[in-house]
Amino acid sequence: MTDIVELPAVRDAVKQGGERGVAAGDGRQPLRAAVVKAAELARDAERRARDKQHAKHKKTARERLDLLFDTGSFEEIGRFQGGDINAGNAGAAVICGFGLVYGRKVAVYAQDFSVKGGTLGTAEGEKICHLMDMAIALKVPIVAIVDSGGARIQEGVAALTQYGRIFRKTCEASGYVPQISLILGPCAGGAVYCPALTDLIIMTRENSDMFVTGPDVVKAATGETISMADLGGGEVHNRRSGVAHYLGADESDAIDYARTVLAYLPSNCGEKPPVYAYAATRAERETAKRLARIVPDNDRQPYDMLDVIRCIVDYGEFVQVHELFAASALVGFACIEGRPVGIVANQPNVNAGILDVDSSEKIARFVRLCDAFNLPVVTLVDTPGYKPGAEQEHAGIIRRGAKVIYAYANAQVPLVTVVLRKAFGGAYIVMGSKAIGADMNFAWPSSQIAVLGAAGAVNIIHRHDLAKAKASGRDVEALRAKYIADYEETTVNANLSLELGQIDAMIDPEQTREAIVASLGTLASKRRVRPNDKHHGNQPL
C-alpha cells in the first residue's frame, strides 16, 4: 500500500502548503484539510526520526521495514492510532502492519525510538496486541523490531499491564506461527521477555543491548561497574549467554538473516515449508565423493563437520543458528533437493564434539523449533559422549542434558540420523537414535557405537588382568593394546547395532546424501499422531 505521504494528490497539496483544493473537473476528489495535515505530520515525523537515528548510526523504523519487506509490499495499520493530528502528534511509538517476504505475508511491529524513546504505553500495547491477534487469525509469522526505552514510566502500571498482554499473546502464538525478534537498539527490564519468548533473537555488534537491569542499577546494587555492551551486548548474548541466535554485522545483515530464516519456515504450524527448484548436476556427484576424504581414519583427529554438511545439502548452503554459542554442536537450516530441513550435528573440531550443558540446550531448542514447524531433522553424529566433571554436574548436565531426550522423543517430524564416526554411551542414544524415535538410521563403515570407547572399556573390564600383568612384570601396554583391538573388533563397530535393527544400513560416505534423500522421500507422508489425552508433558526446564 502506498504511504499517505506518497499519494500523488496528497504530495502535491503538501508541497503547496496544504491550501490547494482539487477541482472536481480534473477527475480527482477534493482533499480534506485533515488528510493534508496528517500527511504533513507523517512527513515531518520521519524527517525527525532520520535526524535522530542517523546521528546514532541507526536506521529509522520505516527504513528497517523497507529492508525487511519485498519492495512496496508493506501495508500499515493504525498509523495515527494514539496520536492527535490537530495537536501535531503523529501517533504512537510503534509501527504495525503486514508485508511480503519472498512473496509470503508476514506481520511486523517496529518500535520507533524517535518517538518518546520507543517506550511502550497503552497505545503501543493496544497496537501490538491487535497486530498479533490479526497475525494469529491470518496464520502468518510475526517479526518484532525492538528499539525501546522500555515501559513508559509516566503511565506506570498501565504500561506494565501492556507487557503482560504481549507476553500472553506471544505464548499463544508460540509454535503456531514463527516469531522472530530483531534487537536493533536497547531492550531492558521486563521488555526483554517479549523477545525471549520468541523462536529466534537476532542482535547486532553495535547498538544492540538486552538486560533485565542496566549498568546503573547493577552498580547501585552490587558496586560493579560495567558497560552496556559488556553487560548485555550482541557479543555477550551470542557467545556467552546463548540468549541470541545470530550476531549481525549491522542492521542490514541482521534483517537479511531474518528474511533468510523465514524462507525456510512455513507460515504456520499447519503448513509444510516452501519447496524450491533444484536441479542435480555433475558437481553434486563430485561433491559426494569428497565425503570419503573429510573424516580422518584416526578417531582422535578432529575435522570440520561443516565440510560434511556442505557436501550433503543443496549448493552447500547452510544457515547456522546459534553459530557462536556452544560450538561443539551445530544446528541450522538447509535444503535437500529443494525441501527445507533442520540439520543437527556434533562438531569434532570443538572439544571433540562432546555434549555439555550449553550444546544440549542448543540442540534441544532447535529440534523443538523444527518439530513445531514441520521441518524434518537430519542428525549427523560424531561424539564421544557427555562431558564429564564436577563443573558439568553442578551446572545441571542431568537436567539440561535431558532436554535433548525430551526434544527428540517427542518430535513427530521425519527424523533421519547418520553416525559418521563415534557414538558412545548416553550421547549415542539422545542424538537421534532409533530407540529414542528416529525413523531411519545409517552408519558409515568406520563408525564406532558402544557404551564406552575401547580404551575406557578395557580399563574397566580388564582392570584386574592388567593389574596382575603389571605385578608379574609383563608388558602391560602390549596387553592393553591387544584387549583394545579385540574390543573394537567384537563390540565397538556398528555390527551389533545392525543386528539389533538399531541401524537400518551401513552406507559408504559418498552415499550419505542419496540415503538421506531416499529416506525423506519415504517419510514425506508422515503425519502427527496424538498418543493419549494428556494436556502436555512436564519438560525439564
> Known catalytic residues?
189-190, 426-427
**Please, are residues 61 and 110 in contact by the beta-carbon 8 Å criterion?**
yes
What b/e readout covers 55-85, taking b as 16+ CB neighbours within 10 angstroms? eeebbbbbbbbeebbeeebbebbbbbebbeb
**Please, are residues 244 and 183 in contact by the beta-carbon 8 Å criterion?**
yes
> What is the torsional sign of CA 27, 33, 39, 43?
positive
Radius of gyration of the chain (CA): 28
Per 3-state DSSP, what percentage of the chain is helix, strand, and coil (rounded to 5)?
45, 20, 35
**Please, are residues 301 and 294 in contact by the beta-carbon 8 Å criterion?**
no
| CA distances (Å), origin 93, targets 135, 225, 481, 497 | 20, 31, 71, 60
The SS3 of residue 134 is helix
Q: Nearest-CA neighbor of 350 among 364, 368, 330?
A: 330
Residue 339's beta-bridge partner residues? Answer: 336
Question: If you search the block for the grid coordinates 518430535, which residue do you land on?
Answer: 411
Question: If you search the block for the grid coordinates 542435480, which residue do you land on?
Answer: 280
Backbone torsions φ then ψ of 97, nearest 5 degrees: 165, -170
Count Cβ atoms below 10 Å from residue 428 Cβ, excluding itself: 23
Extract the C-alpha cell encoding 199.
Answer: 523462536
Residue 151's beta-bridge partner residues? Answer: 120
- CA 205/CA 208 separation, integer angstroms: 7
**Please, are residues 209 and 188 in contact by the beta-carbon 8 Å criterion?**
yes
